[in-house]
Every structure is written in C-alpha cells, then in structure tokens.
Structure 1
Amino acid sequence: MIAIVSAPTNLGLRPPQPGAVPGTAKAPEALREAGLHARLLGEGATDAGAILPGRYVDHPNRSRNAVRNHEAIVDHARRLAARLVTLTREGRAPLVLGGDCSLLIAAGLASRVARPSGLVHVDGHTDFRHPSNSPEIGALAGEDLAAAVGLHLPEIADIDGLGPYFDRAATAHIGCRRDDEHLDELADTIGLVLPADRVVMHGAARAAADVLELPALDRGFWLQIDVDVMDPQYMPAVDSPDVGGLSPDELIRLLGLLAPRAWGASVTVFDPDLDPTGRHARTIAEIVATGLRDLGRDLAL
C-alpha cells in the first residue's frame, strides 16, 4: 500500500534571485490541487502527513566549503527518515512528494536503519558535485547523489555514523545529459549510468531491464525521481532545465517498470512558481499516479 508523505523542502537549492527563496516547497500542495492525492487515495493509498522543513536562510557569509541550510537539512532528514522507517515497518511503500532532492539524504538514512537496499536515481543531472571535484559546494540538491554514496562532507554524508547510505555498486543513475561535467566520474563510481539519450534511443523498457539486471539491486531500491529528467519542452517548471530529456510517456513507461521493485520513491524539484496555470502540475500528477501505481508491489514490505 502506498503512503503519501509531503516533504515541502527548498533547503537544498540556490536562491532563484537575490532576496527570494525557491518555490519547490509549494510542490506537494500544487500536486494535491492537480488531483494527485485524490487519485491515489481513491486507489487505496493513505495520507501519511507532512514533514515540514526549517526556515530557508541564505547566509551571505557562508563558507564556500559549507552546505547552505546545513543544520535545517540535517534536522529535516532525521525527521523524514523516522517517518519513512515507521511506514516501512508497517508494510507500507512511502511516496515522498518534495520539495528538492536534498531529501534523498532522509531516504538514505531510512534505508540504512530499516531496509538496506540500493538506489535508482532518475535525474536530468548527475547531482555529483562534491568537495573533491568542485571548488565551490553548497547547494545540496546538486550534490545529493554524491552525498548518498559517501562522497561529501561527513556532516552530510555520514549523519549519525550511518554513511554511506547506499552502496556504490547498488546505485544506478538514469537521465543525465551527455554534457554533464561529472558524467565520467559518476560512471566510474557507481554500478550503472544511463544518460537520457540512451533511454530515448533504446527505449524505456531496455533502460529498466538494464537496471533490474544489476545483481546488487536484488534486495530492492529507493527510487528518486527529479522531474527535470524530462525535456523542458514538456517540463520547464524546474530550476535547471536542460534540453535532451525524456518525454512524459517515456518517463511513465520507465517508472512503471521500476516501481514494483522499489520499496519507496521520492518526486522532486517541481517549482509551482514557474507553473502559473497549473498545467505542469497536472502533467506530474499523471506521471506519478500512472507510473508509480505499483510502487513496492513485488517486494515483501
């Protein structure tokens, strides 16, 4: 049974402009307005509440080697992880509606405590910036995958001594663009990398099969979906749109094949401030309701 958890965080993103905060914190309610919750609840899901983030504060004197909103991110990760652990132990499949993808850290903490497993990271970017490959870090939403596999500051990548949250051999990435500056490093680090053009060329079914054939994922995985994996002609309401992504139909097919083996999933980085008519919220609602309908079906939750 799917349990919907709202995680309206914007803590891992850069300010969209001076004096403003990112709009991703509005995403769960925008998706509710688009009919997602009603549709999922009508199909047997439960509403497992919300984990609210702390206040977004962009400190002007933050060190170049420090994560923006670090203390608030860690606090939110611990609280969200506790909710995920409870749901998992109750035999439910958490569906986390973000928010930005810094909440992957919470999924990692929960995985280590309740269900050691792999990670399938579906994203238009590698999110693999870390202190050893960049002179400046700080926006965890562009660094979450690196942190999840232990390549970040210990205060983010080893919270409560639980890092690394996911084994590198049991981690797969789908969807980055070929010009991503960290593509080669990522491919040398984790179990599988499938850029978006490979999915488009060979099809979602082939991509899903390649992931599911990884022996290290035989215990299941957390499924992280950043909606900027889609091409901006379909999904421009994100902070960093890049051409060359998937279509909504391709994403639905991909998720439909992966979701049954996932013990939980998170959907992130949709910004309602960039969607004044609600059109793109309705697109995401359709993708989530259709593509993740069978979340956790093939696992003993």
Structure 2
Amino acid sequence: MITIVSAPSNLGLRPPQPGSVPGTSKAPEALREAGVFRRLMADGAVDGGVVLSGRYVDDDTTRATGHVRNEAQMVDHARRLARRIAGVIDDGRAPLVIGGDCSLLLAAGLALRHNAGLVHIDGHTDFRHPGNSDHCASVAGEDLAAAVGRHWPAIADIDGRGPYFSPANTVHIGCRVNDQEVDEVRSHLGLVLTAHQSVEIGMTETARAARAVSGNAGYWLHIDVDVLDPNVMPAVDSPDPGGLDPEQLIELLQGLAPGAIGAQVTVFDPDLDPDGRYAELLTEIIVTGMAHLGRQLER
C-alpha cells in the first residue's frame, strides 16, 4: 500500500526572477486541497507526513564556483528525506513523494542504496553536468546526471554513496526531440525514449520496454509533470511543446506503477495555477495512474 510523503522543496530551481522564489514548494498542499491525499487514502494509503527543506536563497551573486545553488540545504534535505523514504520501504509500503522539485531524486537514490533501477519520466533529460556545461547551478535540471554519478561529488556522491543508480538500469522517457543532451543520454543510459517515440510505439510498449531495462527487483519512478504538453499543463517552470497528453501519461503510469518500489511527482507550480484547474488535472492523473503503486512488490 501507499504512504504519501510531502516534500515541499524548491531548492533545485532557478529563481523565476532575481530575488524571487519558485512556487513548487507549495505543490503538496495545493494537491492536498485538490484531493490527492483524500482520494488515495480512501483506497488505503496513509499520510507519511512532511519533510521540510531549508530556506531557499537566490545565491547567484555569492555562490562559489563549483557549487550548485542551495547546495548545503539540498544535501541536508536529501539525507532527511532519504531516511523517511527508507523507513516507509522497511515497513513494506510504497512511498509516493509529492514534491517539490526534481532534486528530490537525490534522496530517493540515497534511500535505495543501489538496490533499484530508475525510470525517469520528464520533459527534459535533466542531464546538464560539469562535463557538458559551464552553467551548472540548478539541480532540478541536472538531477538525472547527478543520479548516475555525472556531477560534482557534493551532490552526486553524498556520503560516498554515489552513483545512486546504475546507468545500465536507468531509463529516460519523455524528453523532446530537440533536447540538447539527448544524444549523450542515449550513449550513457540503458534506454531513452523521447515523448514522440513513446507516442509512436504506444504507452503499453513503452512501459514494457522500461521495465525490461530497469530490472525485476523494482525501480524508482520519477515523474516531472512537464512531461505533459504545455497546452494541458503550463504550470511548470520550463514548459516545452511536444509532450504527452493526460490520457497517455495515465496509461504509462498504470503500466509502470505496480512494479515500482516508490515514486515522486515533481515541478508542479501552484503560483502558475491561480484557479486550481491544473491541480485538479494532476490529481486525476496521480490518483488514476498511481493507484496500484508497488502492488507487484508487496510482501
């Protein structure tokens, strides 16, 4: 059964404007208000509480070279969220982490201790790293690179435990065909399917292929809601055309969630959803697509 963990972090995102703060930290409570918690708990889920992050600081003018923004706060949050995730798993339940930004993937990697594959569903590859960019700063756009060990050790090797996921058992689904790092990611990971390719082969086949690569021992399921087309989900920090529609994402999640150890949902920004319509849409996607999270692994 599912344990829902709130992780209201915005530490891995750039500020929308100098001196301002991203709104993703409001996502868990916006989704609670839209009914995610109530509807999942009606089917047996439990509320696993909140893991708060440190204060977001726009440190672009003070941050030393070789460090990402909010680095110390992010590492501290990753350690504490990892302990919460690990405790849920030890209790024989499937953690569903409602974030928050994509830097939460660091915590999942620390919690799983190299014992799982990764299915990374995202509208971007999130593979910027010091080897391909001079502008590393925001882990929400660098989380996949960090998760497989291709970033500065401060975030990619926390407590000497990196890489958190084996590249051979890591799958990326959902980037656009013009993603800057897609060719590099294809050369490094076990499977990469753009959103266009997934639509071409169908969501059932996409899920089957992802499960075959990520392994039979279970995998962590990362969902950045910017995998959706901005025509249906504009409430994200980096909307790009060419994404999935809600029915396609639900079908994909229904194919993947039962075999997942746990999952995280990231990058929804309630500041860009003033009337709550996108929170309601995302609630329907989560409840319908993730209802059977971890069911194939229950013991």
Given that 1:64 and 1:136 are in contact with CA atoms closer than 8 Å, whether structure 2 keeps it comes out as no
Partner in structure 1 of residue 253 of structure 2: 255
Matched to 2:14, the amino acid is R
Given that 1:64 and 1:137 are in contact with CA atoms closer than 8 Å, whether structure 2 keeps it comes out as no
- Find the aligned partners of 1:183 and 1:37 in 2 and give their Cα distance: 35
Which structure 2 segments of 5+ residues have no match? none
Given that 1:65 and 1:136 are in contact with CA atoms closer than 8 Å, whether structure 2 keeps it comes out as no
Aligned length: 298
Partner in structure 1 of residue 104 of structure 2: 103
Partner in structure 2 of residue 236 of structure 1: 234
- Find the aligned partners of 2:170 and 2:4 in 1 and give their Cα distance: 24
* Percent of matched pairs sharing the same residue: 61
- Find the aligned partners of 1:119 and 1:110 in 2 and give their Cα distance: 13
Partner in structure 1 of residue 27 of structure 2: 27
Partner in structure 2 of residue 227 of structure 1: 225
Given that 2:186 and 2:192 are in contact with CA atoms closer than 8 Å, whether structure 1 keeps it comes out as yes
Matched to 2:68, the amino acid is V
Give TM-score, length-normalised by structure 2: 0.98
Partner in structure 2 of residue 136 of structure 1: 135
Given that 1:9 and 1:52 are in contact with CA atoms closer than 8 Å, whether structure 2 keeps it comes out as yes
Q: CA RMSD in A?
A: 0.9
Partner in structure 1 of residue 194 of structure 2: 195
- Find the aligned partners of 2:3 and 2:12 in 1 and give their Cα distance: 24
Equivalent residues in 2 for 1:1-301 (5 A)? Answer: 1-59=1-59, 60-112=61-113, 116-214=115-213, 216-301=214-299
Cα deviation for residue 62 of structure 1 reads 1.5
SS at match of 2:297: coil
SS at match of 1:212: helix
Cα deviation for residue 199 of structure 1 reads 1.3
Cα deviation for residue 64 of structure 1 reads 4.5
Q: Runs of 4+ in structure 1 displaced over 6 angstroms?
A: none
SS at match of 1:86: helix
- Find the aligned partners of 1:56 and 1:49 in 2 and give their Cα distance: 21
- Find the aligned partners of 1:82 and 1:66 in 2 and give their Cα distance: 24
Matched to 1:3, the amino acid is T
Cα deviation for residue 203 of structure 1 reads 1.3
Cα deviation for residue 19 of structure 1 reads 1.7
Which structure 1 segments of 5+ residues have no match? none
SS at match of 2:73: helix
- Find the aligned partners of 1:33 and 1:19 in 2 and give their Cα distance: 28
